[in-house]
Each structure stands twice: as C-alpha cells, then as structure tokens.
Structure 1
C-alpha cells in the first residue's frame, strides 16, 4: 500500500480495494432504468417511518448494513465511517452513527460528498492509517425539497432545468491490501476539487452552476496523471443532468477537447427522463452514491467497464445564502476506479 502525491489536489493509491457496495432506493428510483441493479427498493417514500428525515436515515443505515453483510464484515471491523448528506447539521449521517458507534468523520460537499468520502478513505488507508473505511451518502426527495425549495404540500410547478432529488443511499467498504487480486475493484487515484463560482443564482438550475466545477476537476485530473479522456471507459458526473452534461461538453469543446463520447451522468442515468417526468434528471447526495454502489460497481465487477472516473458534483449553497442573494459556488471531486485484471 502507498500514496503518491501528484499535485496539491491529486493523489495516486496502491492497494486500496472496494470490498463491497450496496444501494437502497425509493420507489421512483426503482422504477427507472437501473432498478435491477439496486439491492433494495422501498415500496414508498416513507416506508412506515414517522417522517421523511427519519426515512432518509433508515435508507443510509440499510445501505451500510447491506454493504457489511456483502463484505462479510461486522461493524467492529470498521475503523472509520465517512460520509454525509444534504440535511442541516448532517442529521442523517450523524444520527445513523448513534446506532453503529464507530468513529465518524462527517463530510459536507453537498452532492459531491460521496466521491469526497471515497477519495479521503483511500488516502487514509494508503497512508497507513485506518485499515477499513465505510463510505456512505444519502438523500431523500421529500426531505430535501422542503429544506431547500418549497413546502412539499404546495404542489408548485417545477422548471424544466430543475433536478429531482433522489431518494437513495449508497455505501462502499474500503480496505487495504498488500496484493491486489484479479477482479478486485480498486481506487487508483483521486483529484479533490476546488470551489468554482461563475455567478449562477438559480437554485432550480444546479447543472449550470456545477458544470464549470466538473470541468475544472476533470481537466486538472487528466493533466495531473498525464491521461487522456480515452483512458477511461466512461466519465460519470454526479448530477449535472441533461443540461449540465451538455454545458460540460461545450466547455470542453471550447478549449479544444472532445469529451462527448465518454461523458455520462448519474442523474441522467437514474431515471427515464421523459417517462418519469424528472425534467433535468436526478440530483442529491444519494444520486451518485446509489448509481455507483448499484450499477457502476456491478459493471466493473463483470468487466463491462475496466476503468471509470466518477466525478460527483455539489452546489455549496444553503437556503439562507440563497435568500440573501448569494451566488451558488460549486465543487467536484473525482475518483478513478478500475477493475484489476
């Protein structure tokens, strides 16, 4: 195991393996094109819980427990839990930790928190710190809507640029290994993002706000590791959605890069955009977490993909900052994940 610094924001890792992963989603997500890849699909948004916030916490706990079961591990084998969510004071992550009683590092990068956790977990393990790290992220459509936008009882009309916060949670179990076996899923590298703000102020258009941050991180990642877009089977952004991916591609084209044939997006993939009436696509911390822990991890395991770059994107605003007229700063963290052959 080891870690190699490539720049102030990029690190390469040796011997960091994703041992298992699990994803739990709500009914709308289960009806989408990736439904067969999720471990469990809830029959309703509440699933017999007393509130949407309690339901989100239960989503996360369920995903974490399933990850450990699939990895044949118990909670006492977990050295550190890392992750986050969108709710004030990270209540889903923090309240879930009351149950497992393992050391917790609560993180916040909005919808980019899953790859922040994967990158930090790999950095800690490769640096001879903890031996086992459990990374997770969650979101809930109803809980996020009433915190960031409008009362859910209002029934307001959503704009075409609006994303649909996913009711979903994803979790991965990371550990170190002195030797990587064929078929292992490994975290090769991470590039941590910097805050990018192009002045967008529309909370119903997160794709436009976050696309510049995604472009900045992807460009620096490729430069730091002397790689080309073709070195990856796919680059999956977190939740730029339909419009955000188009803007990302346009930003790349403006600087002479042709990324169009490799770009995809978790928010665009999670739903049937037209049939499910989600407008721009999925969003939320649980979006990229569930798409990776369900679909993408499966594709890597079965050799459909051999190397991907997962670039979760986050809008770093709050209801208070929006009401005070602030713009929406954004960030994107990238992790390169591959199948050892």
Structure 2
C-alpha cells in the first residue's frame, strides 16, 4: 500500500495481450487502422442491440485467445463489465467460455476497475492469467439511458457518443513476448465524487471532478509530479470535460495540460457533432490500440490510464438525483522504463 488509495506491485504484472473490436463509426475514425477487428454492421448479425453487444465481447475474447495462442482453459478468471442492466451483455456474451467470472460495474470506468482487480489477483499469486474486458454499444446505451433511436432527438454540444466496441486483455505473471510487453506497475483506486451536476447529457462535467481527485491522489500517494508520466489518458470526458479537468487540476496546483489526453477525444477527433466518445468500450479500445502501441514502441515509458465513469441509472435520474463520478488509475510502463 502506498499512501491512502494506491498500490505498487512487488512482483511484475504484465498485460500479455490485447484485442479490440469496434463498429463502423469507430473504424472510420483516426484510430481505425489500429483496431484488431472492425465490423461494418453495427447489429453484428444479431436481432437486437443487446445481443450485438454480447457478441462484441465474445468476438474480443475469441480474438484475444487467437492472438495469445492460449485456450479458455488457460484463464483462471474473467473480470468483465458493460453498461446494461444486470450486465447482460457480459453474462450472455461470455457464458460459453465456462471461466470463473467477476461481473463489474464502474460505468465507463469499468476497464480501469477490471485491470486493477485482475492485476491485484495476479500479483497476490491467486492466478497466473486473467482476462479483463469491457464493452459498450451506441444503440443499446441510447435505448437504456436516453431515447430510442427512432425518436431522432437532437444532441446538445456537451453530449458524448457511446462507442461501439470492446477491449479485452490478458493480465498475467509472465510476458507473452518480451519485445511487446507492458507492465502494470500499480493502481490508484478512485472514490465516488459528487459535485451535484444533474445534466446526464453532460457526462464530462459529471466525471471531471472524480478524475481530478484521482490524479491528485496518485501524485500524493506516489510523491511524484507531472514529470513522472509521459502522458495521462482519461477515459471519456470529451472536449468539455477535458477543459473542466484541466481547470480543476490547476486549482490543485497541478498543471498537466500538455500531458493530458482523453480517449473520447482521440477515437473520433471532432468527427461527431458532440463532445467526444464515451462508454465502457471507449477507453477499452483506445488503450488496446494507440496507448499500448506507444508503450511497446518506446514512445512512452510510463503513462497513467484513468478511465472515468458516471454513476447513474434511469431510476436515479428520473428521481432527480445528481450524477456522481468515479475514476480508477492504472500505472502502465513499457519494458525499458
């Protein structure tokens, strides 16, 4: 334990392999060529949006096992989650693998939560290989949290676009390829932060305070400053949330605007008429594409990965509750750092 919210692992924990699956809009974006699988049909050949999202998770795990050369029997646990009620995308999507599973809900921060818990399990010696996975789907999220697509509502500028995609990772105690390994050096677990924002169409404003407090806690716990990291990637704050985060950090005497990037901004980069991307799948697929690639190539030596989540449901929103946020930090290092 380091400080109040952080852990630094005393054994090497590796991201052994990564696999990403995305829909057409994500494949057409600036990171399109970096994803493992891109599908033109956002229904993924299924009868419902929910079945499509389950299939995205299944495709991601299948691709992960193929890339790693491993079988489902080699995996000790799965840590997985999505945005749908009772995690139905996860449970129906991963059922056939018959791997012991922990279902997680951290909203759009779920990828950070899955990697954190998986790394803790491996470092403690309870498992040799675990899968961490998270997914989202634009249409299933719209159906559950906002409006049916047929309604054709206009989206405010502050809104984000839920990413259709899934990112899956094998976290283990040994590298799969010493030339392509990424280490999970530690984690900082976030607290629930509520600034009283009630606008569910402005997720960036809801989540930015949690990201600011997480980054501050990480710096304090590790006794480091901004020079410790080559880059800090938040999950899906979008343009508006990213600006709010920068201002909140400046108030804490942390000026990292030059090292701060947002997965929601990177995946679409101004191609949507909204603030950026969001959803569990947003940070999950950006991590497995450009972030991992830059760590493996040595462009980055150390990054802080900070997926962010808005903790609301249709019930809490309709009852007039605010939208609290949470963020989880994962410290990732390239082999030579």
TM-score range, shorter chain: over 0.9
Unmatched tracts of structure 2, length 5 or more: none
Tell me which moved more, 285-294 or 301-310.
Answer: 301-310
How much has 1:177 moved relative to structure 2? 3.2
Q: Residue 278 of structure 1: CA displacement?
A: 3.8
Partner of 1:7: 3
TM-aligned CA deviation for residue 255 of structure 1: 2.1
Alignment of structure 1 residues 1-341 onto 2, 5 Å: 5-13=1-9, 14-177=11-174, 181=178, 183-273=180-270, 276-341=271-336
How far apart are residue 16 of structure 1 and its match? 0.3
Q: In structure 2, how many angstroms separate the alpha carbons of the residues matched to 1:129 and 1:47?
A: 36
Separation (CA, whole Å) in 2 of partners of 1:141 and 1:220: 32
2:274 aligned counterpart, secondary structure:
coil
2:307 partner SS: strand
TM-score where L is the length of structure 1 = 0.96
Deviation for aligned residue 1:130: 1.2
Displacement of 1:183 in angstroms is 4.8
Q: CA deviation at 1:89?
A: 0.2
Deviation of 1:228 (Å): 1.2
Query: Post-superposition shift, 1:272?
Result: 2.8
The count of residues paired between Structure 1 and Structure 2 equals: 335
CA distance in 1, matches of 2:326, 2:197: 13
Q: Deviations over 1:163-184 (max 9, x none)?
A: 0000010011010139995652
Structure 1 residue ranges (4+ consecutive) displaced by more than 6 angstroms after TM superposition = none
CA contact (8 A) 1:160 1:280 kept: yes
The 10-residue stretch of structure 1 (222-231 or 312-321) with the greater mean CA deviation from structure 2: 222-231
- How far apart are the structure 2 equivalents of 1:267 and 1:339? 23
Structure 1 spans left out of the alignment, 5+ residues: none
Q: CA RMSD in A?
A: 1.4
Contact 2:268–2:277, Cα closer than 8 Å, also in 1? yes
Check conservation: 2:79, 2:103, Cα contact below 8 A: yes
For residues 279-299 of structure 1, the C-alpha deviation after alignment (integer angstroms, 9 at most, x for no partner) is: 100000000001001221122
